[in-house]
Structure 1
């Protein structure tokens, strides 16, 4: 069995905990180890916060712009994608840590530390950024989705 879901959320700060809680609920239901669930939920929160802050000019046709969160729990892997309609940016390769005294700029680095694989798809001026990351899952004993 696998779990797949996708959300279209307004680019508002209140949407970030909603996405995080949905992911944590799905992981709990699937029997994923709480430490792995926590790591992925923090990474998701960072990706969503980036989409909210940098994902566009705020409105499109009089409506607040949305961003998309998609999560796949399949077998031993969880893959998460956060896509926004923003202007895009040139992602540093590798992602460099922020200065110690910086108030912003730690999100992508933190995602990279918490996930097993990270991909940032973004082209300046072409519109949109997709941050995707995955992690090998560990399950509690007797978990419903535990890989056989």
Structure 2
């Protein structure tokens, strides 16, 4: 049995646990292994929290655009897509690149002054002391395939896939 649903949610913190509960209920009903469900639930929570934080609010006097969550289970594969109405990833990438460029200039200046800066690792890791910025790393760690892209009109799209394992298939027996 294939399952598909889509939610259009307000850009408010209460929407995050609502989306997670609906996803977990769907997976429990389908008989998905609870450990896999937990991992996907965390990934969805992070994607929704990013949408709530980064999506643009409606302009003065207009309704909030909110964000959309779509989930599809086909056989043993789950696909989640969270779309927001924010500035998209390009703006965030430009900010990150600018900060990285300033850091590189600082290292070059230290090197000229005879001080050596520690070499950066080629592996990108989340700053564990930061109050934000770990969500996309968690999604990458918990999902099998992840894609971050900009929506053609406006906003960011986070989509991820997970291969599901089942403990029992009550829906398959019912059909």
The TM-score with structure 1 as length reference comes to: 0.88
Structure with more helix by fraction: 2
**Superposed displacement of residue 85, structure 1:** 1.2
Structure 2 counterparts to residues 86-125 of structure 1, below 5 A: 86-90=86-90, 96-122=124-150
Contact (CA 8 Å) 1:95, 1:108: kept in 2 or not?
A: no
The match for 1:84 is 84
| 145 and 43 in structure 1: CA distance in 2 versus 1, 3 angstrom threshold | farther
The match for 2:58 is 59
Q: Could you list the runs of 5+ residues in structure 1 that have no partner in the other structure?
A: none
Contact (CA 8 Å) 1:32, 1:143: kept in 2 or not?
A: no
Q: Could you list the runs of 5+ residues in structure 2 that have no partner in the other structure?
A: 97-121
| 81 and 142 in structure 1: CA distance in 2 versus 1, 3 angstrom threshold | closer
Contact (CA 8 Å) 2:69, 2:82: kept in 1 or not?
A: yes
| 140 and 13 in structure 1: CA distance in 2 versus 1, 3 angstrom threshold | same
The match for 2:109 is none
Provide the C-alpha distance between the structure 1 equivalents of 2:172 and 2:160, rounded to a whole number of angstroms: 20
RMSD, matched Cα: 2.3
| 42 and 17 in structure 1: CA distance in 2 versus 1, 3 angstrom threshold | same
Contact (CA 8 Å) 2:89, 2:149: kept in 1 or not?
A: no
The correspondence for 2:157, drawn from 130, 133, 141, is 130
Provide the C-alpha distance between the structure 2 equivalents of 1:65 and 1:86, rounded to a whole number of angstroms: 9
What's the CA shift string for 1:78-123, capped at 9, x where partnerless? 000000111112358x993321211100000000000000000127
| 43 and 145 in structure 1: CA distance in 2 versus 1, 3 angstrom threshold | farther
The TM-score with structure 2 as length reference comes to: 0.75
What's the CA shift string for 1:1-37, capped at 9, x where partnerless? 1110000000000000000000000000000000000
